[in-house]
Structure 1
Amino acid sequence: MSNSRFWVVGGEYTSCDCEKIVQGTERVIGPFESRHEAERTWRTLSEDHRPQAQVRFTIAQEPPSTLSA
């Protein structure tokens, strides 16, 4: 088992440069215990929103130090 957790984060951005997210569209899904689990969710979300050029999701890895508290 990994010492890190993974999250799928994203939403709709104001433009294709993906610098500013549209308020209220933010999504945080997780945590996932493995990157493989997070990738399955990321792939599904990305495919579901493929026609929407300004919707993006990414996988974030939680630093292991946050789990040892």
Structure 2
Amino acid sequence: MQAPRFWIVGGEYASMAFDRLIEGTQRVFGPYGERRAAEEAWRRLSEESRSQCLMRFTIAAER
């Protein structure tokens, strides 16, 4: 079985409900071979967009 790969996905959302991305703001980063590397990249992205309250990113793993 192949080891899982990790991706960072997200963008700018239309509201604080975080249920709909604004078209064209979607961003995908990866793949990362280790969760730790994905977490480090996620922290960097989160810090860069900290002042934008409607930006959100998450880590997704392939299974």
- Give me the TM-score of the superposition, normalised by structure 2: 0.95
Q: Name the residue aligned to 2:33.
A: 33
Q: Name the residue aligned to 1:66.
A: none
- Measure how far apart 1:16 and its partner are: 1.2
- Between the two proteins, what is the percent identity of the paired residues? 50
Size of the aligned set, in residue pairs, is 62
Matches within 5 A, 1:38-57: 38-57=38-57
Structure 2 gaps, min length 5: none
- Give me the TM-score of the superposition, normalised by structure 1: 0.87
- Measure how far apart 1:5 and its partner are: 0.3
The runs of at least 4 aligned residues of structure 1 exceeding 2 Å deviation read none
Structure 1 gaps, min length 5: 64-69
